[in-house]
Structure 1
């Protein structure tokens, strides 16, 4: 298995004049990207970065960030992606935990970094620790770039490549260590199973944050390996998608389902520029049911739709539902079948594989798995027990090998002695033509242990009352699964992480449902 350093060298020779990265801060060809990576790699080595040293990066969706990733990889260091949406105290904790000696910082986030370093200085004062040096965008990082020509690799495929923090939607974020081997195996999965980077003149649009695995490892890395162009949007918006797809001749993109539903709800996907250029749309990290898939097919009949399931710890992809399956009612609600290099099975609490149709935890093996959680050996051992990555996600599998997600283990609702899976109820609500988004929560209750409640967002121009939706659910689910209370919100009232994932715990607090 090759390293990212190998692919920097190979693409500088194979595709020197082709654009590698396009962003708000410029355009860089594969030849230029390689030279700048080698220069930055030399500078980092001179600054004391050795094989396996952590290099923090605080940057947004920019070419600067993409170049930082390649430069750190070329140096043999480990790219640590810090979340620019963290509070200063969270960033200070992340820097302390990962022990970065150098931080490459984008100008837009310098104030946050300075506040975090002040907090960090107080934390390390008592134990004699040091605050990392900062190399700022502009003259400082330009001065760090030295020499010219290829830089010899000092790491192998098993060496750590990056630390990506989990989304933190259900708890404290953990730093996930992923190797060069992991990133390349995931890239091969994406290229073989989903055709990422494989189309002629492929130009992929990145609209999710580069500090998460979906953007970095499922889009930027596969496109780079394939010699295809990554166009990096600074932020997601209706206007940005239409502008970039048209102006940059975008052929594919990834967005989470609520982003996709928003574009469909506003009619954005019918824009002529999108219909002309977009050949594939990939989605995941949320629910996608038949009404959404049918509407997508009507709006973009010439565009392939893929649904994928994964998690950062898996590298991240595990299963995918291909375009040929999308309108097949027999597998509606499925998260698909396993990727080429992934082995996924459902296990019971004792580690035994369950039979088709039975509920079990999704457990994963394969070359794309994480090396572990940074600095957390106990958490790593718990997640990787028995040689399998235990995802904490519950699912069933049919005889054909299609998986059907049911719920997070931590989010299963216990009401009146029954186990209720929030995702099951959410999926049925998404079948209603008036429902744009649906969230089901378990709320503490002295009589039932937990009471099932729901939060609903309606589509533009649609109306529905709680009683109507309850009747809709009762026709399809057991009575104890029907929410006893239903609240209607607007899309912007749903709290989400930077990657767009819903934060159920925050929503509970927001609604005053945490302990009542």
Structure 2
């Protein structure tokens, strides 16, 4: 094949950029609603106009391919405008967590050295002093937008350019900035839609923070396919109930910590659900009875997912829990379009039934952590991304999650995985939340301690929990202590996961 033809084919057949693909979709669906936010409706045509004006604004401010914007905002339509306009220029949007302390926020900003900060007015007071120029959302943003036309520079981005930086919720130290490329974001949209048969024009409710992968990944995916994104600032029960009654939703995000409140709302308001294709995530962290209730009420299967900011919802998000089922097993199925290995500490593949760290390669993977060469070299060794999550592969090819490798408890030479204990405790319908953490022990080195929350109308005793563990677990795996706390007392990340390091710190403080 001639070199010139190969170059032309490469350009024509390659993965598009997010900005270019959005522009093509918006022109096709100009009159359709792209974003709904409260009473406001923004059509694809209007959104494209605003994105083009913002692209021109950013270019006029001197932002160029490879530069970074720091975005500090709650969920609002402008969040997606900024990501799409930056995408046109090959500029990376660093999605800052507004819940962080000033010290943590200063670290995240300094890490990426943004040329511009775009900030919600109510959050501007908590912004650390950095000397970086800032543009405030609201009247200042709208005034600048109005001064720029819709003629923008030709898109400069390439598929492997960074699109967004999403910060991981550092469990033992400061957050790391995961760089998600245009290629990864487009492939996440394709893989998820393919695996779960999400309808092209299905609605997505972006209520989880847009600085989190669930909302940013799937809001952008929806806008590339002609669907409507309902932007909601956090878990607002009445708004979510109205959304499921009025819209046909593809994937309804439900996360640990809010499922049971959502169930109570559905029952109390007797909500008539228009249609949900798939609901939920992270089934391992949700009580089985809560999964059964919410799926029955929505008449939608629950997503037995496993993924991360770094991988997107692949590598193991093919398994679904049918409506009304209280799962007794949570084995997962490997996604298409990725490769998986389970390896020992020497990176040798383990046999079926043996625990091993999951290593993956595939097109949804991120491009590494920003300014973290040593970490990237370790985690991407051998051409595979090593996730730090331990699984067992069953004879039928399914995968059982064991635990995060860093949560492993070494007790008297035995390996104890907290997730196994938690799954046992969650089988009691009176338990609403549980987290097992390590505690120092002079004899065994480390022992498990369980923090447990119970339903207010159905208290449990330590003796009852100990009996349950005695029936289901080997002696060395049983918690040495049960600590009862309220459901809201569990410290959580933005994705609803319990922050175990905070509970371990609490243990040490009470010792």
**TM-score in terms of structure 2 length:** 0.91
Deviations 1:49-105 (A, max 9, x none): 111110111111111211111111123211110110111121111111101011111
Counterparts of 1:86-101 in structure 2, within 5 Å, are: 86-101=100-115
Structure 1 stretch displaced more, 51-60 or 231-240: 231-240
Distance 1:330 1:483 in 2: 23
Question: 2: distance between equivalents of 1:297 and 1:316?
Answer: 20
Shift of 1:193: 0.8
Could you tell me which residue of structure 2 aligns to residue 260 of structure 1?
Answer: 259
User: What's the offset of the Cα at 1:240?
Assistant: 3.3
SS of match in other structure, 2:257 = helix
CA distance in 2, matches of 1:316, 1:97: 26
Cα deviation, 1:208-257, whole Å, max 9, x if unaligned, reads: 1111111111x212211221111111111333322333355655411213
Corresponding position of 1:42: 56
Deviation by residue 1:175-198 (Cα, 9 ceiling, x = unmatched): 0111100111111111111234x1
Are the counterparts in 2 of residues 406 and 423 from structure 1 also a CA contact under 8 Å?
Answer: yes
CA contact (8 A) 2:279 2:295 kept: no
How far residue 299 of structure 1 moved from its aligned partner, in angstroms, is 2.9
In 2: Cα distance, 1:93 partner to 1:285 partner? 33
Quote the offset at 1:285 in angstroms. 7.5
Equivalent-residue separation in structure 2 for 1:400 and 1:288 (angstroms): 25
Alignment of 1:369-448 (within 5 A): 369-448=365-444
Mapping for residues 2-13 of structure 1, pairs under 5 Å: 2-13=16-27
CA distance in 1, matches of 2:321, 2:488: 33
- Alignment partner of 2:31 out of 17, 26, 32: 17
Superposed, 1:157-176 pairs within 5 Å as 157-176=159-178
Q: Is the 8 A contact 2:196 2:318 kept in 1?
A: no
Aligned to 1:192: 194
Root-mean-square deviation (CA), in Å? 2.2
Which structure 2 segments of 5+ residues have no match? 1-14
Decide whether aligned partners of structure 1 residues 269 and 33 sit closer, same or farther in structure 2, where only a CA change above 3 A counts: farther
Residue in 2 aligned with 1:127? none
Residues 331 and 223 of structure 1: CA distance in aligned 2, closer, same or farther (over 3 Å): farther
1:505 Cα deviation from its structure 2 partner = 1.1
1:258 aligns to what SS in structure 2? coil
Counterpart of 1:212 in structure 2 is 212
Q: 1:381 to 1:514 in 2, by over 3 A?
A: farther
Maintained 8 Å contact 2:295/2:322: no
Q: Is residue 305–residue 313 contact of structure 2 (8 Å, CA) maintained in 1?
A: no
**Residue-by-residue CA offset, 1:417-465 (whole Å, 9 max, x unaligned):** 2110000100111111211111111101111111211011113522221
- Residues 314 and 368 of structure 1 are in contact (CA less than 8 Å); yes or no, is this contact kept in structure 2? yes
Equivalent runs, 1:83-162 vs 2, <5 Å: 83-113=97-127, 116-117=128-129, 120=130, 131-145=131-145, 146-149=148-151, 151-162=153-164
| Cα 1:168/1:262, change in 2 over 3 Å | farther
C-alpha contact (below 8 Å) 1:55/1:103 kept by paired residues: yes
Change (3 A) 1:413 1:85: same
- Would the aligned equivalents of 1:441 and 1:504 in 2 still touch at CA under 8 Å? yes
Where structure 1 has 5 or more consecutive residues not aligned to the other structure, the ranges are 121-130
Where does residue 225 of structure 1 map in the other structure? 224
Q: Per the alignment, in what secondary structure is the counterpart of residue 513 of structure 1?
A: helix
* Native 8 Å contact 1:4 1:73 kept in 2: yes
Given that residues 270 and 299 in structure 1 are in contact (C-alpha distance below 8 angstroms), is that contact kept between their aligned partners in structure 2? Answer: no
Alpha carbons of 1:286 and 1:513: their partners in 2 closer, same or farther (altered >3 Å)? farther
1:128 is aligned to none
In structure 1, C-alpha distance between the alignment counterparts of 2:403 and 2:265, rounded to whole Å: 31
Aligned counterpart in structure 2 of residue 280 of structure 1, from 268, 278, 281 = 278
Cα 1:443/1:274, change in 2 over 3 Å: farther
Q: CA deviation at 1:312?
A: 1.1
Give distance in 2, aligned partners of 1:328 and 1:88: 44
Return 150-159 or 90-99, whichever deviates more.
Answer: 150-159
1:2–1:143 Cα change, 3 Å: same
- Counterpart of 1:255 in 2: which secondary structure? coil
- SS state at 1:352 partner: coil
| Partner residue of 1:337 out of 333, 340, 364 | 333
Deviation at 1:271, TM superposition (A): 4.1
After superposition, what is the alpha-carbon deviation per residue over 1:256-278, rounded to whole angstroms, capped at 9, x for unaligned? 133213323x3535744353343
C-alpha distance after superposition, 1:15-53 (max 9, x if no partner): 111111122483321111111111111111111111111
Distance 1:60 1:454 in 2: 34
| Greater CA drift, 275-284 or 101-110 | 275-284
Q: Which runs of 4+ in 1 moved over 4 A?
A: 247-251, 324-331
Contact kept, 8 Å, 1:193 with 1:340, in 2: the verdict is: yes
Does the CA contact (< 8 Å) of 1:290 and 1:327 recur in 2? Answer: no
Once residues 271 and 294 of structure 2 are traced to their aligned partners in structure 1, the CA distance between those partners, rounded to angstroms, is 16
